[in-house]
């Protein structure tokens, strides 16, 4: 099992990047254990490697950081649980698609602890929930909002960056960007869904579901030649 690290006060983005860089290098060198870091950031936007300038609607609202991970623009801030995953895929099987599926399965399993049905969608990164109370889409299906984002990077088959799950962030802060480049859908949070879930509640659910989610999606495999 990885080492679980928890920060009780918001961590600056540059500080978080520096920590991940150092830990990933140590894991790759066999000098440190895998780690999962639970934290919050002060309000900020991050730009992934596919970010489009026009999707940064309000560039002066919060600091903007080049993240170096996959994906587009995301918002991070208080009330949002950040889960940075520094995991060694050399030991877990060098399969990037399987790894991302495992992250998705983990989020879905954690949300299910609160009776929230998270779902994934082809062509839309992250985890989504149906919002029938908001009406129907053009195709007659219920409206959907994003509750969790996923964006990772690998170095020497060790992962960093990871997942953000909305517990009780200020959802108006997402209006400064087009989240993940998706204009036709909104964002939500556990509290926005009417659930009195705390950050500690979510942390317990994440720890309870981690091992099962990863074992179910990707059996450990030896590194490929």
CATH number at residue 40: 3.30.930.10
User: Can you give the residue range of the structural domain that contains 181?
Assistant: 3-219
Give the whole-angstrom CA distance, residue 224 versus residue 17: 28
Number of domains in the chain: 1
Q: How far is CA 63 from the centre of its chain?
A: 19
pTM of the model: 0.93
pLDDT digits (tens, 9 = 90+) for 185-212: 899 999 999 999 999 999 999 999 999 9
Residue 225, in any domain of the structure: no
Residue 224, in any domain of the structure: no
Close Cβ partners of 204 (under 8 Å, ≥ 6 residues apart)? none
- Confirm or deny that 194 is annotated as ligand binding: no
Rounded to the nearest integer, the mean pLDDT of the chain is 93
Compute φ and ψ for 142, nearest 5 degrees: -65, 150
| DSSP H helical ranges for the chain | 13-28, 89-92, 96-112, 199-217
In the residue annotation, 180 being an active-site residue is answered as yes
- Confirm or deny that 71 is annotated as ligand binding: yes
Residue 96, in any domain of the structure: yes
- For the chain, give the number of residues: 225
Residue 85, in any domain of the structure: yes
- Confirm or deny that 72 is annotated as ligand binding: yes
Position 219 scores a pLDDT of 55
Residue 33, in any domain of the structure: yes
- Annotated active-site residue in 83, 180, 187, 199: 180
R_g of the chain, CA atoms, integer Å: 17
Residue 126, in any domain of the structure: yes
pLDDT average, residue stretch 206-225: 74
Q: How confident is the model at residue 216 (pLDDT cuts 50, 70, 90)?
A: confident
pLDDT average, residue stretch 133-137: 90
Compute φ and ψ for 50, nearest 5 degrees: -105, 10
- Confirm or deny that 70 is annotated as ligand binding: yes
pLDDT average, residue stretch 29-37: 98
Q: Which residues pair with 130 in a beta bridge?
A: 144
- Confirm or deny that 162 is annotated as ligand binding: yes
Close Cβ partners of 7 (under 8 Å, ≥ 6 residues apart)? 37, 38, 39, 40
């Amino acid at each position: 099992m990885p080492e679980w690290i928890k920060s009780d006060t918001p961590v600056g983005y540059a500080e978080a990047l520096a920590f991940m860089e150092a830990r990933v290098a140590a894991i790759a060198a066999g000098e440190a254990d895998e780690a999962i870091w639970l934290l919050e950031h002060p309000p900020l936007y991050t730009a992934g490697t596919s970010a489009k300038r026009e999707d940064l609607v309000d560039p002066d609202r919060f600091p903007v950081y080049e993240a170096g991970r996959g994906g587009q623009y995301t918002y991070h801030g208080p009330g949002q649980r950040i889960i940075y995953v520094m995991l060694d895929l050399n030991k877990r099987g060098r399969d990037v698609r399987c790894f991302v599926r495992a992250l998705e399965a983990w989020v879905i399993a954690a949300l299910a602890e609160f009776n929230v049905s998270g779902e994934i969608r082809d062509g839309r990164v992250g985890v989504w929930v149906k919002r029938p109370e908001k009406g129907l889409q053009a195709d007659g299906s219920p409206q959907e909002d994003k509750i969790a984002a996923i964006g990772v990077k690998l170095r020497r088959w060790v992962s960093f960056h990871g997942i953000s799950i909305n517990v009780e962030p200020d959802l108006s802060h997402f209006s400064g960007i087009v989240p993940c480049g998706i204009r036709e859908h909104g964002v939500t949070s556990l509290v926005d869904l009417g659930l009195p879930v705390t950050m500690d509640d979510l942390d317990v659910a994440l720890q309870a579901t981690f091992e099962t989610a990863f074992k179910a999606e990707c059996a450990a495999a030896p590194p490929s030649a």
